[in-house]
């Protein structure tokens, strides 16, 4: 549990969004300036919550959120369309609920202690005493504990006005979609239990069962069935689970567009298992030079798909640096492909140069919407890819630098 909490916080923004926004279908456009108004009531800086929020008494947080809702409801009150006004009020309620959910989830977190914990996770994972160090750091990171009865009361407040099947709200409220994702995960972990035979990845498989069995027929169920199946095919490593999810979806889904997109996702998956030639890329390196994958043929290519905001990605960097050093001069290129957004190119450049990252450092042109990234079905990072000297795929989901099996594979290939 300790490591899980820290990993979530370290990640900052997860690249794996089960209900990722589809630009054609989903928006978040009901109420304006929610974050701006929230900053009047909740301690924030640059769009992030300040740590002092997490040590406030719960009644104070509830009072502050009540003030936020009162001010925001004035905007909704001016709306003459009754149906739209109702959606706006619900969106405000769920937005406040997300703040309360965050507060409950990391209550008692100390800023200095958490900073030390993050540094430990990034830089000391290879330390023989890592688990012992983590235990000690975790105790210092959380200086308060919320009583179970109070936690239960907060959760009841969050769920008070919720329903699993508000289609209109689902289409226009990111806060409602986030609540629904949490609710499905809660059912997965309690009523359904997670599939431990697949490890953590079993969560995605079980989540599909929850969606099929618990959600009423309609748009939300169809959409989440489509997104959830795509997540299994893209993320779960077990081939039997991928095949089963695909067959199940194609047999039950009725939306022709969803089925067509799923066929593409499945085709990408099969490409990676068929010793096929890898899709090419042409991306700019940290010095402004364009590099293509084809230009690297003649050597093996080990690709690390990462981002500067991704904590688990950065945890692999020391291991990758060591692998690069140990295999220097061998018949292999090491490529780090960032999916940071183009607007954050300066941040990426600074991170690469400040940390003296080696290998070939590239920035994808459209982050997760880049053709190369989509062809490899990447919706979670870090992700590692291994290409042979002829440009064929050795593995579309290769071992991580921290995994000793990577070295065994490279030794066998490069002998």
Please give the structure tokens belonging to residue 252: 């039950």
Which of 273, 299, 324 is where one domain is finished? 273
Within a 10 A sphere around the Cβ of 37, how many other Cβ atoms?
20
Are 376 and 334 found together in one domain? yes
Query: Mean pLDDT, to the nearest integer, of 147-167?
Result: 93
Structural domain including 218 reads: 192-273
**Is 137 inside a domain boundary?**
no
Residue 154 shares a structural domain with residue 240? no
Please report, for the domain that includes residue 305, its CATH number.
3.40.30.10
For residue 77, being part of any structural domain is answered with yes
Average pLDDT over residues 350-364: 97
Q: Which two tokens stand for residue 345?
A: 């190119």
Q: Are residues 46 and 94 in the same domain?
A: yes
Antiparallel, parallel or unpaired: β 282-285 and 48-49: unpaired
Band of residue 10 on the pLDDT scale cut at 50, 70, 90: very low
- Sign of the torsion angle spanned by Cα atoms 110, 113, 115, 121: negative
Q: Contact 320/304 with Cβ under 8 angstroms?
A: yes
Task: Take residue 68 and report the two structure tokens written for it.
Answer: 């936020």
Q: What average pLDDT does range 178-205 have in this prediction?
A: 86
Same domain assignment for residues 268 and 152? no
**391 and 356 in one domain?**
yes
Q: Do both 43 and 159 map to the same domain? A: yes
Non-local (6+) Cβ contacts of 399 within 8 A are 384, 405, 406, 409
Task: Classify residue 119: in a domain, yes or no.
Answer: no
pLDDT at position 28 over 80: yes
Q: Phi, psi (5° rounding) for residue 195?
A: -80, 100
Specify whether the CB–CB gap between 244 and 238 falls below 8 A: no
What pLDDT is attached to residue 124? 60
Of 273, 290, 313, the residue that ends a domain is: 273
pLDDT band at 125 (very low <50, low <70, confident <90, very high): low
Lowest-confidence range among 6-15, 300-309, 370-379, 384-393?
6-15
Q: Residues 269, 286: one domain?
A: no
Residue 29 in domain: no
Asked if the structure places residue 1 within a domain, the reply is no
Q: How far apart, in whole angstroms, are the C-alpha atoms of residue 60 and residue 54?
A: 11
pTM of the model as a whole: 0.82
| Alpha carbon distance 69, 145 (integer Å) | 27
DSSP 8-state secondary structure symbol assigned to residue 109: B
pLDDT digits (tens, 9 = 90+) for 276-306: 999 999 999 999 999 999 999 999 999 999 9
In this predicted structure, the answer to whether residue 136 has a pLDDT above a threshold of 90 is no
Question: Which residues are CB-neighbours of 362 under 8 A, at least 6 positions away?
Answer: 281, 283, 284, 285, 286, 291, 335, 336, 337, 338
Q: Does residue 206 belong to any structural domain of this protein?
A: yes
Query: Considering the domain boundaries, does residue 25 fall inside one?
Result: no
- Provide the pLDDT for residue 376: 96
Q: Which residue has the tokens 């456009």?
A: 29
375 CA to centre of own chain: 18
322 and 203 in one domain?
Answer: no
The count of residues in the chain is 415
Residue 95 included in any domain: yes
How many domains does the chain divide into?
3
More confident residue, 27 or 194: 27
Mean pLDDT taken over the chain: 90
Integer Cα distance of 332 and 385 in angstroms: 13
- The more confident residue out of 128 and 370 is 370
Do both 375 and 356 map to the same domain?
yes
Other CB atoms within 10 A of residue 395 CB: 16
User: Is beta strand 332-338 parallel, antiparallel or unpaired with respect to 282-285?
Assistant: unpaired
Whether 334 and 375 map to the same domain: the answer is: yes
Identify which has the larger pLDDT, 303 or 200.
303
Q: What DSSP designation does 388 have?
A: -
The residue out of 248, 273, 298 marking a domain boundary is: 273
Residues 308 and 256 in one domain: no
Q: Which of 46-50, 74-78, 296-300, 320-324 has the lowest mean pLDDT?
A: 46-50
Whether residues 308 and 368 fall in one domain: yes
């Amino acid at each position: 549990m300790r490591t899980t909490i820290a990993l979530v916080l370290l990640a900052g923004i997860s690249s794996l969004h089960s209900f990722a926004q589809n630009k054609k279908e989903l928006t978040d456009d009901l109420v304006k300036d929610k974050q701006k108004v929230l900053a009047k009531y909740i301690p924030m800086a640059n769009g992030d919550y300040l740590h002092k929020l997490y040590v406030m008494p719960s009644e104070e947080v509830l009072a502050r959120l009540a003030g936020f809702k009162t001010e925001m409801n004035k905007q909704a009150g001016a709306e003459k369309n009754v149906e739209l006004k109702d959606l706006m009020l619900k969106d405000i309620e769920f937005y406040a609920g997300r703040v309360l959910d965050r507060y409950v989830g990391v209550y008692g977190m100390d800023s200095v202690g958490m900073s030390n914990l993050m540094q430990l996770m990034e830089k000391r994972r290879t330390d023989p005493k890592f688990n012992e160090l983590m235990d000690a750091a975790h105790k210092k990171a959380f200086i308060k504990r919320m009583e179970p009865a109070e936690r239960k009361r907060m959760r009841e407040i969050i769920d008070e006005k919720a329903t699993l099947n508000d289609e209109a709200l689902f289409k226009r409220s990111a806060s409602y979609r986030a609540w629904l994702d949490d609710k499905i995960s809660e059912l997965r972990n309690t009523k359904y239990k997670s599939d431990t035979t697949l490890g953590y990845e079993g969560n995605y498989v079980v989540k599909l069962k929850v969606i099929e069995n618990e959600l009423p027929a309609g748009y939300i169920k169809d959409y989440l069935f489509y997104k959830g199946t795509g997540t299994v095919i893209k993320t779960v490593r077990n081939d039997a689970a991928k095949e089963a999810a695909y067959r199940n979806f194609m047999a039950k889904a009725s939306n022709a567009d969803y089925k067509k997109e799923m066929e593409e996702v499945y085709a990408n998956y099969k490409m990676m298992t068929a010793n096929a030639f890898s899709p090419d890329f042409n991306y700019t390196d940290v010095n402004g030079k364009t590099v293509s994958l084809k230009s690297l043929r003649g050597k093996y290519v080990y690709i690390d798909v990462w981002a500067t905001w991704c904590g688990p990605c950065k945890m692999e960097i020391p291991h990758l640096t060591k692998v690069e050093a140990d295999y220097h001069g061998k018949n292999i290129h090491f490529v780090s492909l960032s999916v940071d957004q183009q607007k954050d190119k300066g941040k990426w450049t600074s991170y690469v140069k400040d940390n003296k990252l080696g290998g070939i450092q590239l920035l994808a042109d459209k982050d997760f919407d880049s053709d190369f990234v989509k062809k490899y079905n990447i919706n979670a990072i870090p992700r590692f890819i291994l290409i042979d000297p002829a440009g064929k795929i050795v593995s579309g989901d290769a071992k991580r630098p921290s995994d000793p099996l990577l070295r065994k594979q490279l030794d066998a290939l490069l002998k």
